[in-house]
Chain A
């Protein structure tokens, strides 16, 4: 590897994606929409399923189940679908597992790369727009069946509030006021959150609400994995406040579930 130096007219700026493009490391084969008619949807690839996010009094909370499915088979029992994007934001992903994980990895790098080159973080709005751009560039792959749908949530340091964003496959970006849910079990999960959501939810209240939502989704949808005490596998949960992104310990989630089981 040599030192990646550029003349001013070819400089990729603070964007890691542009850097990859100038280094010819971006794979555009799937993004070619001319080939979109050739669908790869018949191939059984692992799919990640339900993820949810909602606001609470100090910020936002994100949660995802752990199951990945290929057709009617379970391909993975302990997949992670909720990731930190940077210190004050997170991204949760439903859809085809491979491209989802790749998109998260690139998105994290994009934010980190910008932060290091510019010596400041992007605004939350800027981060949300970046993800929109990622979605748009994935449209070709999505039309071939490799659909990825994220939720982006974070704490806006300037506005001093938690914010969350929904996306569609074309890169459309929609800011949600209360909650968002995507994936195969999202219908059931969002109903639970819709009924139980208040703006003044505490951290405990919000955790219970999203866990209940994922539990009900797993109860009704084969694609969504429920709590698995036998193997000690529970949903991934992250809270984001002004103090940053924090992943909940599995033991805390397990304890919350045992409380929940007394109610159900």
Chain B
């Protein structure tokens, strides 16, 4: 199997521009990998009843997040032999509509498999990571998304 280089960080609140820039620009020191693919997930102001989504409140089980992310990485690195790196930032706490709550970046020597690995990683995160979200609506009401 290719060497696994993966990190996941839980960020309190939105993932700000500085954190996003850091993730992107630290790659300038990397002379081995030629391909980076990036997914950014942003909170939408969905027009729900009785009022629009103002923010999402995320909560997580951090100890289990670390373990599950290790398992997901093993599956991804096992399946995509050209994948060399995987970095994930996920928000906890309150993230307002328009702000970023998820960043996933995958790395490979070449672009082969990278887009597919990125898509698989995002789906696995949504399916298997022990994270929960509650929509906070503009009228002050809230509901769990399950």
A binds B: no
- Could you list which residues of chain B lie within 8 angstroms of chain A, going by C-beta atoms? none
